[in-house]
Amino acid sequence: ETGVTQTPRHLVMGMTNKKSLKCEQHLGHNAMYWYKQSAKKPLELMFVYSLEERVENNSVPSRFSPECPNSSHLFLHLHTLQPEDSALYLCASSQGGFSSGANVLTFGAGSRLTVL
Amino acid sequence: GQNIDQPTEMTATEGAIVQINCTYQTSGFNGLFWYQQHAGEAPTFLSYNVLDGLEEKGRFSSFLSRSKGYSYLLLKELQMKDSASYLCAVKDSNYQLIWGAGTKLIIKP
Mean pLDDT throughout B43-54?
96
Q: What is the residue-wise DSSP string for A10-72?
A: EEEE-TT-EEEEEEEE-S--SEEEEEEE-TTS--EEEEEEETTEEEE-TTS-TTEEEEEEETT
> CB count, 10 Å around CB of A61?
12
pLDDT digits (tens, 9 = 90+) for A42-96: 999 999 998 767 888 888 999 999 999 998 999 999 999 999 999 999 999 999 7
What whole-number distance in Å separates Cα of residue A95 and Cα of residue A33?
12
Mean pLDDT throughout B41-58?
95
pLDDT digits (tens, 9 = 90+) for B73-106: 999 999 999 999 999 999 999 888 999 999 999 9
Distances in Å between the Cα of B62 and the Cα atoms of A63, A71, A94, B33 are 39, 32, 22, 9
A99 contacts chain B (CB < 8 A)? yes
**Pairwise pLDDT comparison (A97 vs A80), residue with the higher score:** A80
pLDDT > 70? residue B19:
yes
Cβ distance A101 to B50 less than 8 Å, yes or no, reads yes
pLDDT > 80? residue A1:
no
A101, A106, A109 member nearest B31 (Cβ): A101
Q: What is the DSSP letter of A85?
A: G
**Residue A104 backbone phi and psi in degrees, to 5:** -85, 135
State the pLDDT at residue A102.
76
- Mean pLDDT in chain B? 96
B42, B45, B99 member nearest A104 (Cβ): B45
Smallest CA–CA distance, residue A115 to chain B, in Å, is: 19
Q: Which residues of B touch A107 (CB under 8 A)?
A: 35, 42-44
> CB count, 10 Å around CB of A37?
20
Smallest CA–CA distance, residue B43 to chain A, in Å, is: 6
